[in-house]
Amino acid sequence: MTSNFLLGILSNVCGRYTISSPRKIVSEILGSDDDSAVEARYNVAPTQDAPVIVADTNGARLLTHMRWGLVPHWATNSDVGLAMINARAETAAYKPSFAESFRQRRCIVPADGFYEWQRKSGGRQPYLLRLQGGEPFTFAGLWDVWRGPNGTLLKTFTILTTTSNAVVEAIHGRMPVILGRQRCGEWLTTGSNVGTLTGLCAPYPAAAMETIPVSTYVNNVRHDSLECMQPVRLRTSSSLL
């Protein structure tokens, strides 16, 4: 894993997230007690497979796994996926890479936290951002299927982003689109009306979120353990005196 690759991830709006309580996520989002298809993850990173939920023609939610980093079906190779782990909600409906998926292939991505890095004089400080109490939620996503030269099919997804709320703004100017329970169903089953879909992508209420400083242990994509989420005490100017 090269340093350039790591820096590229750190510069994205939403470049890592957590699925630390799969049983709770499956129960509340899928309405099922069977969490065998979802494993606990503490540092989901681009190019990795992750659980994604889509709707069938009857509106029923189906759990599947896809690779993070959308590869349009018309792409000449799959490398473009790394540059498309996020899509701006304001423009996705008009960008060639995302427009068709925005109208026809939407998904929700289960999670219970995500990481952002704040620039500071000593480097970048990672934070875990989540709903109060660590409640599960979903990101608004898009997906597509790419056929490789040998005929194999690759399913991929991207996470939509929007302007930051007051909590996230102190760390990053944008944030992933977090959907409340009612909007999950709307996002999956709404038709192709761009205005309606874009309206579902408003910033999540700041009062419902919290930020937790964590150690730089999370910076390494090879680290995927509970240690990634452990809070740390930030050093202040007074503590240095």
CA distance 16 to 6: 11
Between CA 210 and CA 220, with CA 214 as vertex, the angle to 5 degrees is 125
Kindly write down the DSSP assignment for every residue of 61-93, as one continuous string. EEEEEEEES---TT-SSGGGGGGGSEEETTTTT
Alpha helices in 66-165 (DSSP H): 99-104
- Which tokens hold the place of 69? 């980093």
107 φ, ψ to 5°?
A: -145, 170
Which residues are known catalytic residues? Answer: 14, 116
**Any residues with CB less than 8 A from the CB of 5 and at least 6 apart, and which?**
none
Burial class of residue 50 in the structure, from the number of CB atoms within 10 Å of its CB (0-12 exposed, 13-18 middle, 19+ buried): buried
Q: Which two tokens stand for residue 93?
A: 């409906």
Query: In sequence order, which residues have a C-beta less than 8 Å from that of residue 191 and are 6 or more positions away?
Result: none
